[in-house]
């Protein structure tokens, strides 16, 4: 099923998960665990599972294998992420043919982080060019990334929104957001998108954090705000792993609850390949 249909079926909310190909998995144990975790999450009737893509295609084969298994074994539409920076048009074309041969219908089109050094190929500079290429050369439905607090490199928030509109204008059907811990950023972002004529669903990305250090690292990497209360509690109890987990789950569940009350069409969970936190949140909802 294509993204447009998934988000217009009237299913409320549309639940989707993000997973990533495990690293250092020569014996396949981590991949086995990933599918055990995903199986635990099937009870919540997900409509889509997205699979990240390593910068420059570092985990391309692993990513393709997970996509194939999600489709064939779990019978859930997979959505591969794909980054175009440093990738030649030929490679992109081959990748798209491969995923279409598995009857994949959707893709998350990204630029990816520009490598600081190395062999940078300039065939595609930004995600909007990739959206256009995919729409012109395949039958895939395309999603793109959105940043409620602005992308870490953006010249200005308005410029970032302008470029987001370019991505939707070139054919993106859905926007998945970067994680955020303050819903006000999401609500304001959706309002600003609407004001400039972006009509596509903006699906919030939810990350239940697992430790204080992880929170600091992620927030710094993505340049997102950590609300003071959350920071104070998680800093104070950072040695108490059980309490940290419980607090983070309750925090994310309350975020989701407020988002649902405000009519979001779906919730996209950054699972970090684990079922427990997401399951607890979905049970609470």
Q: How far is the CB of 106 from ligand FAD (least distance, A)?
A: 13
Is residue 29 part of the annotated active site? The answer reads no
217 near ligand FAD, judged by CB under 6 A: no
Our CA dihedral for 35, 40, 46, 52, rounded to 10 degrees, sits at -30
CB of 180 to ligand FAD, least distance (A): 10
- 25-54 mask for ligand FAD (x: CB under 6 A)? ---------------------------xx-
**Window of 88-96, 115-123, 161-169, 210-218 that interacts with ligand FAD by CB under 6 A:** 161-169
Contacts of 166 (CB under 8 A, 6+ apart): 128
d(CA 191, CA 180): 16
In the complex, the smallest distance separating the C-beta of residue 252 from ligand FAD, rounded to whole angstroms, is: 16
C-alpha distances out from residue 251 to 177, 217, 244, Å:
18, 18, 10
On whether the CB atoms of residues 67 and 95 are closer than 8 A, the answer is no
Q: Is 204 in the site for ligand FAD (CB under 6 A)?
A: no
Hey, what are 127's tokens?
Answer: 């995600």
DSSP 177: E
Can you tell me which of 37, 149, 160, 280 binds ligand FAD, judged by CB under 6 A?
A: 160
Is 110 among the residues that bind ligand FAD (CB under 6 A)? yes
CA-CA distance, 14 to 168, in Å (whole number)?
A: 20
Instruction: Tell me the C-alpha distance between 84 and 123, whole Å.
Output: 8
Minimum CB separation of residue 151 from ligand FAD in Å reads 4
Question: Which residue number, 71 or 151, has a Cβ lying nearer to ligand FAD?
Answer: 151
Distance CA 47, CA 268 (A): 10
Residues taking part in catalysis:
18
Footprint of ligand FAD (CB under 6 A): 52-53, 55, 81, 83, 108, 110-113, 126-128, 145, 151, 153-154, 159-160, 163, 166-167, 176, 178, 205
């Amino acid at each position: 099923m294509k993204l447009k249909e998934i988000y217009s079926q009237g299913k409320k909310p549309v639940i989707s998960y993000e997973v990533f190909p495990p690293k250092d998995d020569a014996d396949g144990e981590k991949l086995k665990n990933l599918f055990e975790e995903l199986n635990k999450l099937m009870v919540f009737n997900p409509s889509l599972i997205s699979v990240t893509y390593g910068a420059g295609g570092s985990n391309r084969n692993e990513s393709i294998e997970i996509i194939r298994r999600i489709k064939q074994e779990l019978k859930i539409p997979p959505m591969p992420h794909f980054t175009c920076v440093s990738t030649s048009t030929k490679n992109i074309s081959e990748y798209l043919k491969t995923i279409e041969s598995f009857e994949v219908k959707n893709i998350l089109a990204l630029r990816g982080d520009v490598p600081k050094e190395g062999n940078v190929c300039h065939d595609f500079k930004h995600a909007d060019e990739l959206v256009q290429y995919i729409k012109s050369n395949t039958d895939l439905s395309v999603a793109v990334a959105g940043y409620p607090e602005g992308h870490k490199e953006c010249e200005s928030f308005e410029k970032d929104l302008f470029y987001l509109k370019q991505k939707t204008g070139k054919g993106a059907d859905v926007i998945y957001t970067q994680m955020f811990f303050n819903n006000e950023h999401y609500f304001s972002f959706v309002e600003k998108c609407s004001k400039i004529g972006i009509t596509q669903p903006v699906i919030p990305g939810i990350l239940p954090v697992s430790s204080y250090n992880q929170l600091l690292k992620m927030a710094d990497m993505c340049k997102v705000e950590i609300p003071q209360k959350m920071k104070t509690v998680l800093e104070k109890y950072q040695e108490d792993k059980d309490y940290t987990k419980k607090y983070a789950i309750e925090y994310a569940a309350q975020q989701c609850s407020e988002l649902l009350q405000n009519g979001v069409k779906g919730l996209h969970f950054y699972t970090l390949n684990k079922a427990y936190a997401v399951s607890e949140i979905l049970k609470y909802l």
